[in-house]
Amino acid sequence: VAGLEHPWSLAFLPDGGALVTERPGRLRRITAAGELVPGEVSGLPEVFSSGQAGLFEVLISEDFASSGLVFLSYACGVESANHLCVARAKLGEDRLENVEEIFRALPAKKGDAHYGGRMAQLPDASLIITLGDGFDYREQAQVLGNHLGSVVRIGTDGVAPEDNPFIDSPDARPEVFSYGHRNVQGLVYDPVEQLLISHEHGPRGGDEINVLRPGQNYGWPVITYGLDYTGARITPFTEYPNMEQPLLQWTPSIAPSGMTRYRGELFPEWRGDLFVGALADRSVRRVEFVDGEAEDVETLFKELKARIRDVITGPDGALYLLTDESDGRVLRVSPKP
C-alpha cells in the first residue's frame, strides 16, 4: 500500500483488513485485499499535529469481535499546552462512534516532541501506554507526581487498576506503572513468555531495550549511555542503585521505533526474535532474545533507504513495515518462494 502521509501504526482487523494511522491526524482503512480505501475514517478526536506530535497508535481491543472497540493515542491541545491523550471508540463502517477520552497525561507541556504513544493490552484487559519526557522536561521522568517520562497502566474505562504499583502513594499519579524513561516508542506484550518488552530513544546514543516491570525505575536522566545533542555529558552515571540496566543499548543511536516479537509460522528460524524499526538507521534490526538476554544480530532492509516507523507481525505470519515518509508505504515481507 502506498500514498500514506507519515503512517505511524498498523493494526489488523478480524476480517483480514487493517487500520493505519497517519501522523497528521487521519485514520485509514486497508481492505483484506491490500487496497487503501479512499477517504478517511471520520469522527476522530481533535489531534494536535506539529513536529513529532500527531496521531500515533491504533490498537484493536482484545474483545473487538463483540465490542467493536478501538483505542487511539494522539497529541491533544495546543503548542503552548499539550498532552499525550488516549481515546476509545466503537468502529463503524467509515466513522468512529461513542468517542471518549480515557487518559490525558498531566501536566500540560510546551513544545511538540517526545510523546511516546505506543500501547498494548494485557491479558487482564488493562492498557499499557508509553510516554515521553517532553524533551525539555527530562528531570520530571524521576518525579512520580506527573506522567512525563513514565509508562502508565489503566483500565479500558481509564481508571487506574487497584494493583498498580503506586496506587497507594499520595505523591504519585495512580496510573504510573514504571518511570525514568526518555521516549518509549516500541512496546510489545509477548503472551508466550508473559513479558512486556519496550525500547526507548536515547539522546546521542543510549537507545535501550528493556523488560518493563511494575514499579521499576529505568534511570533517565540519572543514568544513560548517551550524550546530549550538544555533545555535553548529561550525567556521569551509566549505573546507579535501584535503577534498571537495559538488556541492550545502541550507541551510536539507531532511533528505534515500532517493534514486534515474531511468533508467526512463515519464518520459523526467526521465532522469538525481536524486530525493531529504526528511523535514523533506516533499517530493521533483528534482535535475538533468549533467557532474558538480547543481542542485535542482523540489520535488514537497508536497501529500502527508508525510515521504518513500525514493524508488525501480521495474522498471516508475514512481517509488515511502515515507512515514515510523506508518501509512506505499508510493505509486506514474506519468504522467497
| Residue 63 forms part of a structural domain | yes
| Residue 112 forms part of a structural domain | yes
| Residue 307 forms part of a structural domain | yes
CA-based angle 313:315:317, to the nearest 5? 60
The catalytic residues are: 114
Question: pTM for the whole thing?
Answer: 0.98
Return the residue matching grid coordinates 502506498.
Answer: 2
| Residue 146 forms part of a structural domain | yes
| Residue 1 forms part of a structural domain | no
The CATH number assigned to the domain holding 129 equals 2.120.10.30
What local confidence, expressed as pLDDT, does residue 252 receive? Answer: 96
Please tell me the distance from the alpha carbon of residue 93 to that of residue 16, in angstroms, as a whole number: 15
Domain extent, residue 52, equals 7-333
Residues ≥6 apart with Cβ < 8 Å to 16: 32, 315
| Residue 302 forms part of a structural domain | yes
The burial class, CB within 10 Å (0-12 / 13-18 / 19+), for 131 is buried
CA of 295: how far to CAs of 190, 243, 248, in Å?
A: 18, 21, 7
Return the residue matching grid coordinates 544480530.
Answer: 297
Question: Which helix (H) or strand (E) covers residue 66, if one does?
Answer: helix 64-67
Total structural domains in the chain? 1
Please tell me the distance from the alpha carbon of residue 337 to that of residue 321, in angstroms, as a whole number: 20
Please tell me the distance from the alpha carbon of residue 225 to that of residue 206, in angstroms, as a whole number: 4
Q: What is the DSSP letter of 337?
A: -
Contact 135, 113 (CB under 8 A): yes
| Residue 2 forms part of a structural domain | no
Q: What is the residue-wise DSSP string for 119-153?
A: EEE-TTS-EEEE-B-TTTTGGGGG-TTS-TTEEEE
Nearest CA to 229 out of 248, 209, 205 is that of 205
Please tell me the distance from the alpha carbon of residue 47 to that of residue 20, in angstroms, as a whole number: 15
Contact 274, 287 (CB under 8 A): yes
Q: Per residue of the chain (337 residues), give pLDDT as tens.
A: 999 999 999 999 999 999 999 999 999 999 999 999 999 999 999 999 999 999 999 999 999 999 999 999 999 999 999 999 999 999 998 999 999 999 999 999 999 999 999 999 999 999 999 999 999 999 999 999 999 999 999 999 999 999 999 999 999 999 999 999 999 999 999 999 999 999 999 999 999 999 999 999 999 999 999 999 999 999 999 999 999 999 999 999 999 999 999 999 999 999 999 999 999 999 999 999 999 899 999 999 999 999 999 999 999 999 999 999 999 999 999 999 8
| Residue 118 forms part of a structural domain | yes
Please tell me the distance from the alpha carbon of residue 75 to that of residue 210, in angstroms, as a whole number: 25
CA of 216: how far to CAs of 98, 153, 178, 211, 239, in Å?
A: 35, 13, 5, 10, 14
Contact 153, 160 (CB under 8 A): yes
